[in-house]
Structure 1
Amino acid sequence: MISLFKKFESEGILGINRRIGEFILPNNPREFYPLVDDKWKTAELTRQFHVPMPKHYGRIDTFGGIQNTKNLVINQPGFVVKPANGGMGNGILVITKSESLENGKYLFHKADGRVLLEKELNHHISGILSGLYSLDGNSDTCILQERLECHPFFQEISFRGIPDIRVIVYLGYPVMAMLRLPTKESGGRANLHQGALGVGVDLISGTLTHAVCNDKLIKVHPDTKQELSGRVIPHWNVILEMASRCYDMSGLGYLGVDIVLDETRGPLLLEMNARPGLGIQIANRMGLVSRLSLVEKIRDTADGPERRVRRMLGEL
């Protein structure tokens, strides 16, 4: 076991304890956590910093307000239901369309093809308010958010849902990235814990490299049967600069930034994470330590987002 740990260390693999002790605790002040843990607060913050984000139709923070759900979304082509303080994709529902019935009630069609009765949707929101999906187990708020349209780049390689791009940012410098692709197993959600694919991305060019699903290396998407490596993500520099700007916006020195590509609006910030996972190393088949050490060598506190991106890519 000791030799295995030494092997990981020699290859620059960042472990959980080191991630927390050397990078999260010293660089992420606790008072800034609510800015990223609460997605409603994140949305307010993005407006101040002019960072584009999916539109919010409204929020529900009381059980009595649940009955107002349909009034907030009924004129929208689709919407997303999510807990404000959720994590790992838990509690998120993607509704593709609403259908009115003769009795005045509504049916809500999910992205995975299933249908929810109005009372079932309300019950799910009740669970969100109860804190069923919140990071700390406390009562929560339900957010009703714009449902995005998948960028054409992903049409061949994603199973329903909207893929997202996770970028690890250290002291404002992007250090590693991966694409997360929904699968049938993940229910159309881009969450690795639920069976989505993680695909490594070459940081300089935005080219897809290695893919992993359930911790196993793969070459093709299990549902679309399309090869993944060699494809280049559009708007790559814009994505990296947006991720870098999240450092200035959040005040967190070590964070994960999740960005989505909408068909018409381009790159949009989905959310930020103060405790990003380490699976990105598996998808890229390399450790984070060397990239994090590089940032500490080249860091210039006078750099803005564009300069930080150029400086980082110039060193790789």
Structure 2
Amino acid sequence: MISRKNIIQLVVLVVAVIGIILARVYFHQGTETKSPPTSNIPATPRMLTYTNPAYSIQYPTNWKKTQEKEEITFSSPLESSADTFQEKLSIGPLAGPSTNLDGFFKEYVDMLKKAAAVDNPSDTTLGGYPAHTVIFTVKPKDQPLLKMMQIFTQKGTKLYGITYRAEPDKYDANFATIQTMIGSFHFIISPEELEAFVTCLKDKKVTFYGASWCSHCTEQKELFEKSAKSLPYVECSTPGGKEQTANCKNKGIPGYPTWEFAGGSRVSGLMTLQDLAKKSGCTLS
């Protein structure tokens, strides 16, 4: 578990980073370049897609993307010549030793409460993975108030965080765009991870029942990419697609796709990889 010292350092770092960002924006210091002012921000902006080997996320075409090491930041355009602060969404892995998400989040929130006004933390999901979120307001020394939302999740042994920061009176105005961005986020699953996941499904005695003519079965297989050929798949359609095989009749398979798990429990319909991982006990890492 991450040490108390590291938690304290993380909270201090949050406040320090906020101060640096605001100092650059308000006093034009540092190397960050502000986007040119624009008087009209579209309510439903067109989106671009940013992808790296770890994850993918969409962002509005009129937002600026910057990168510092492994952290990616998307900055909103200025609304007018009087606007002096760009709302931002940042995403990246958390530095430091690997730890448990729940343990990290509890200690982080406990320490955060000593430096900021914290709303009730809550559970959520990010890219289909279990996650925790917290909203808080903080006032760095000699700087105006800032409202922030952070979401933390874990993939394998690595923790990831998404941070939305805005002036309190602009927080809600940009929230719909932020939700769209966060909703588009998903982790990239490597071919090696998919193959290991399929192997685990077979080891866990999971069975995928489908039919050659079933479009949802095709969609299900596509989620596994090249590893689909290794799935524990049972074809339930006879040649020509007019009948159900005796095996599937005897099993009482009602429709396709149907997933059967250890102990005999079943789920009918297309399942996400994350739902399969949760139901089977296999991990995507």
Report the TM-score when normalising by structure 2.
0.24
- Max radius of gyration: which structure? 2
Report the TM-score when normalising by structure 1.
0.22
